[in-house]
Amino acid sequence: MGTFVLRVVVGLLFVGHGLQKLTHLFGGGGIERTEKTMAALDMHPPKLQAYAAGAVEAGGGAALALGAATPLASAGLIATMVTAVRKVHLKNGVWNTNGGFEFNLVMAAAALLLAGRPGKASVDGAFGRSKWGTGWTIFALVAGVIGSALAIAAGRWFGPEETEAEEAAAPSSPVE
């Protein structure tokens, strides 16, 4: 019962967090604000990064809550949390009261635990996979870290060209 409750609570919190990024639900700023945040964090192209983060959190959270393809859902969610820690929260230390990474760490740890053990009351359990095991747990962690690294690297890969193209397209200001 504990695994079921943890899976549903953590999964639905991720769904809500993703919907905040994609829409104005739950006090979220929607895709426009998420895109601006991504640009400010040098996560390029910002629109794609905004949609990807929101979709992974909402979709991965729903899959986690249902216990469906749990290691894959966990990998995506771990990737978003690792990215959030690296790009936003690490510099603020551990504690959430200072804007730190404690919440992200707890959510990533819960997703990691659930990656290998969605439980019997899950979609995976209905297909005989109530336990995926240690190998799949390690997969979720490694894939999540690699996913985060790729998302951050994309910001470096796509950032300069996009900025140069925007500057070239901008009208020149008159000289006074």
Can you give the pTM of this predicted structure?
0.87
* 40 Cβ contact partners less than 8 Å away, ≥ 6 residues apart: none
28: left (phi over 0), alpha (psi -120 to 50) or beta: beta
Q: What is the pLDDT of residues 153-170, one digit of tens each?
A: 988 888 745 544 554 555
Residue 173 has a pLDDT of: 45
Between CA 116 and CA 94 the distance in angstroms is: 26
Name residue 140's amino acid.
A
Between CA 87 and CA 80 the distance in angstroms is: 10
Q: What are 41's two structure tokens?
A: 């964090």
Query: Does residue 109 register a pLDDT over 90?
Result: yes
Residue 159 has a pLDDT of: 75
Q: What is the pLDDT of residues 38-90, one digit of tens each?
A: 999 999 999 999 999 999 999 999 999 999 999 999 999 999 999 999 999 99
Between CA 138 and CA 135 the distance in angstroms is: 5
Judged by DSSP in three states, 23 sits in: coil
Residue 169 has a pLDDT of: 54
Residue 175 has a pLDDT of: 47
